[in-house]
Structure 1
């Protein structure tokens, strides 16, 4: 049996910010009533994190939970633990109207870091990324030029970007262009 590999095998590029493909990340899409106590407990048990509010990302390292829509979460766990966490979650949610699916191998994750990280993402997504409008712990689903994506800030200078694995090369190349030296816009 072959070993899993990430979409771009840890590719990285540096310019006005650093872009890195993060490697394998365990991800579970969870759909259901986000106010259901059983679902809230299943999320807490899987991640150790509280249920996020609208457009919030409660993420520490490889583990966390991101609000994706009024009935959808993205649950993050270490890649090696995704199957056991999914099984635990499925068992905990038996009898509850919910759906939990492992989407780890269908997604790619990038890190954009540095003093100009806001500018880099601002070139690609129609989102106000000013410091007073977008803070660590917030998430947005948006467009990254021509493809769907989501991103959140781990800290003041670090974003994590998630896209479909099939668009990983496209997103990586977009990010590489957006970090070219001399491409600073000076907005953020």
Structure 2
């Protein structure tokens, strides 16, 4: 059996902000009735987190739950635990209409950090990133230039991005171009 590797092998670029391929992350798409007590209990058991409000991500002691749509969450857990978590979700949600799928190997993960991280993201995603509009714990699905992706901001001011693995090279190059030292705009700095 081959070893799992991240899309870009930990590639990193430092410019106005630091862009990093953050490696393998365990990700599960969970669809179902998010208001259901059974779904809420299963999410809590899987991640230690509550079902998040619209456009939010909530962290627990074993992972995180991010709002994707009115009937969909993205659960983040350790890569090595994904299959076990999916199996447990199946047990916990037996009889409940749901879908839980391991999408870890179909995704790529990036981090954009540093003083100009907000500016870098704003150049490529049509999202209002003003401090009062986009704060730690905010989660958005959007487009990054020509591709779909999702991202959130953590308490340390780092943006985390998830996209399809098939477009990882495009995403990385896009973020690096936006972080190039000669591309400063200065809106958020």
Q: TM-score range by the shorter chain?
A: over 0.9
Given that residues 139 and 152 in structure 1 are in contact (C-alpha distance below 8 angstroms), is that contact kept between their aligned partners in structure 2?
Answer: yes
1:32 corresponding residue in structure 2: 32
2:51 corresponding residue in structure 1: 51
SS, match of residue 183 in structure 2: coil
Deviation of 1:137 (Å): 0.2
* Alpha-carbon distance in 2 for matches of 1:45, 1:84: 12
Q: What whole-Å deviation, never above 9, does each CA across 1:55-74 have from its counterpart, x for those lacking one?
A: 00113698201000000000
List, as ranges, runs of 4+ consecutive aligned residues in structure 1 with deviation greater than 3 Å: 59-62
Alpha-carbon RMSD across the aligned residues, in angstroms, is: 1.2
* Alpha-carbon distance in 1 for matches of 2:27, 2:130: 28
Q: What whole-Å deviation, never above 9, does each CA across 1:6-48 have from its counterpart, x for those lacking one?
A: 1111110000100000101000000010000000010000101
Give the number of aligned pairs.
188
* Alpha-carbon distance in 2 for matches of 1:76, 1:178: 27
Distance verdict in 2 for CA 1:12–1:60, change over 3 Å: farther
2:20 corresponding residue in structure 1: 20
Given that residues 17 and 116 in structure 2 are in contact (C-alpha distance below 8 angstroms), is that contact kept between their aligned partners in structure 1?
Answer: yes
* Alpha-carbon distance in 1 for matches of 2:43, 2:157: 27
* Alpha-carbon distance in 1 for matches of 2:171, 2:62: 21
* Alpha-carbon distance in 1 for matches of 2:60, 2:18: 20
* Alpha-carbon distance in 1 for matches of 2:137, 2:63: 13
* Alpha-carbon distance in 2 for matches of 1:62, 1:92: 17
TM-score (norm. length: structure 1): 0.97
Given that residues 47 and 60 in structure 2 are in contact (C-alpha distance below 8 angstroms), is that contact kept between their aligned partners in structure 1?
Answer: no
Q: Would you say 1:82 and 2:82 are equivalent positions?
A: yes
Q: What whole-Å deviation, never above 9, does each CA across 1:61-92 have from its counterpart, x for those lacking one?
A: 98201000000000000000001111111110
TM-score (norm. length: structure 2): 0.97
SS, match of residue 58 in structure 1: strand
* Alpha-carbon distance in 2 for matches of 1:105, 1:78: 13
1:125 corresponding residue in structure 2: 125
Structure 1, unaligned stretches of length 5 or more?
Answer: none
* Alpha-carbon distance in 2 for matches of 1:155, 1:176: 23
